[in-house]
């Protein structure tokens, strides 16, 4: 990789202050792609942002006493682009989370027992094909700004509608993301702005954060634990849609993530200001929290639509604690959907806070 630029916002470079560094990497089909590294040396955290690859985090590392540890699954591994897999790195899920099936598709499935071949939704009387988890992760985003300010490194990326997106999602939009690193914490702030559309723009939003477990290679998958104030598991049917069945759960004490019910689970029952999970291995504890941010004093998301969706594989040693706002099939059912009037904004923030234990 070739270093292009570094800034720490001051004349004298202080390795203990947050800093940003631009390098190059080769994304398939996009040679010499901009890769931006952000480092909080004082708290031993660094991450890489790859704007051209869906504006996502491409690497997330935490330093223990021995070395830097990569905790993001398949970090910096871009074998193909766009990437079809969602259980890699940290792609944005938008404008849908999960699968999308129309009433006709679900009726056909109940009648024949054959799952639908495509994900679809209905808008304005027309049916559109849409990928599982939407399409934002497959778009090339633009790096708008980066630098340091008040002890925090930051980077901003954005993407807007195009002729291609309007063919599958008939709404104009702009999405921006700002990454901030400082004080031992990562903040990821998404802003979704509806364009001048004829009607309200529907969407749900999430992030498929995928982590190596154990984080540092020490310990065993089945000894790693999870803790959360989430109080109910929402069951899924054979189409991976919510069935309506619910089971109370107590995760207030550390619980092994190897429990079968935690490896493919929708966890709800959160208060809006207490939507978090905490993962721990023998070396590192990681807290992930998320929540809507007020815009002009307005909140658009109901408490019942805050979720974490878990997906893990003990054999491959990864676990996905996915923060979601909204539900599977929300574009069709309206449940968990946020509706934005022209010019209206949704702001959503994820926070990731690692703590080294030894």
Reply yes or no on whether the pLDDT at 16 is more than 90.
no
Confidence of residue 8 (pLDDT cuts 50, 70, 90): low
User: Over the stretch 157-198, which tens digit does the pLDDT of each residue have?
Assistant: 999 999 999 999 999 999 999 999 999 999 999 999 999 999
- Average the pLDDT over each of 2-16, 80-94, 111-125 and give the range with the smallest value: 2-16
The mean per-residue pLDDT over the stretch 249-254 comes to 97
Query: Quick one: pLDDT at residue 14?
Result: 55
Reply yes or no on whether the pLDDT at 219 is more than 90.
no
Ordered DSSP codes for 17-51: S-EEEEEEEEETTEEEEEEEEEEEGGGTEEEEEET
pTM for this prediction = 0.94
Confidence of residue 10 (pLDDT cuts 50, 70, 90): very low
Alpha-carbon dihedral 236, 242, 247, 248, rounded to 10 degrees: 130
CA–CA dist 214, 313 (Å, integer): 12
CB neighbours (10 Å) of residue 40? Answer: 23
Helix (H) or strand (E) holding 59, with range, is strand 56-63
Query: Where in the chain are the domains?
Result: 5-356
CATH architecture label of 5-356 = Distorted Sandwich (2.70)
Query: Quick one: pLDDT at residue 87?
Result: 86
User: Over the stretch 294-347, which tens digit does the pLDDT of each residue have?
Assistant: 998 889 999 999 999 999 999 999 999 999 999 999 999 999 999 999 999 999
Confidence of residue 49 (pLDDT cuts 50, 70, 90): very high
Query: Quick one: pLDDT at residue 31?
Result: 80
* Angle, CA 226 vertex, CA 221 and CA 230 arms, to 5°: 150
Of 138, 131, 127, the residue nearest 98 (C-alpha): 131
- How far from the centroid of its chain's Cα atoms is residue 239's Cα? 22
Query: Contact 148/17 with Cβ under 8 angstroms?
Result: yes
The mean per-residue pLDDT over the stretch 99-121 comes to 96
Helix (H) or strand (E) holding 106, with range, is helix 103-112
User: Over the stretch 127-165, which tens digit does the pLDDT of each residue have?
Assistant: 999 999 999 999 999 999 999 998 899 999 999 999 999
């Amino acid at each position: 990789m070739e270093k292009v630029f570094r800034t720490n916002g001051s004349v004298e470079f202080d390795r203990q202050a947050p800093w940003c560094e631009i390098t190059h990497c080769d994304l398939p089909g996009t040679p010499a792609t901009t890769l931006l590294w952000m480092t909080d040396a004082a708290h031993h955290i660094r991450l890489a942002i790859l704007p051209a690859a869906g504006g996502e985090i491409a690497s997330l590392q935490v330093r223990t006493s021995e070395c830097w540890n990569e905790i993001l699954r398949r970090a910096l591994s871009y074998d193909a682009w766009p990437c079809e897999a969602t259980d890699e790195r940290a792609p944005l899920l938008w404008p849908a989370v999960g699968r999308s099936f129309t009433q006709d598709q679900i009726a056909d499935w109940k009648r024949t027992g054959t799952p639908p071949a495509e994900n679809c939704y209905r808008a304005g009387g027309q049916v559109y094909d849409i990928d599982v988890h939407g399409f934002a992760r497959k778009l090339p985003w633009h790096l708008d700004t980066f630098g340091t300010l008040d002890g925090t490194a930051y980077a901003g990326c954005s993407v807007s509608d195009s002729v291609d997106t309007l063919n599958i999602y008939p709404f104009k939009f702009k999405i921006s993301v700002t990454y901030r690193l400082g004080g031992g914490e990562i903040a990821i702030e998404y802003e979704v702005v509806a364009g001048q559309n004829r009607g309200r723009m529907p969407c749900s939003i999430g992030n498929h954060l995928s982590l190596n477990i154990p984080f540092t290679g020490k310990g065993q998958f089945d000894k790693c634990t999870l803790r959360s104030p989430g109080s109910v598991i929402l069951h899924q049917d054979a189409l991976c849609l919510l069935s309506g069945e619910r089971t109370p759960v107590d995760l207030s004490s550390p619980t092994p993530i190897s429990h079968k019910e935690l490896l493919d689970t929708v966890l709800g029952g959160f208060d809006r200001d207490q939507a978090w999970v905490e993962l721990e291995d023998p070396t590192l504890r990681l807290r992930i929290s998320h929540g809507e941010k007020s815009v002009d004093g307005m909140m658009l998301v109901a408490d019942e639509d805050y979720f974490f969706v878990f997906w893990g594989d003990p054999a491959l040693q990864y676990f996905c604690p996915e923060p979601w706002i909204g539900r599977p099939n929300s574009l069709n059912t309206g449940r968990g959907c946020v509706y934005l009037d022209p010019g209206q904004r949704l702001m959503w923030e994820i926070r990731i806070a690692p703590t080294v234990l030894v």
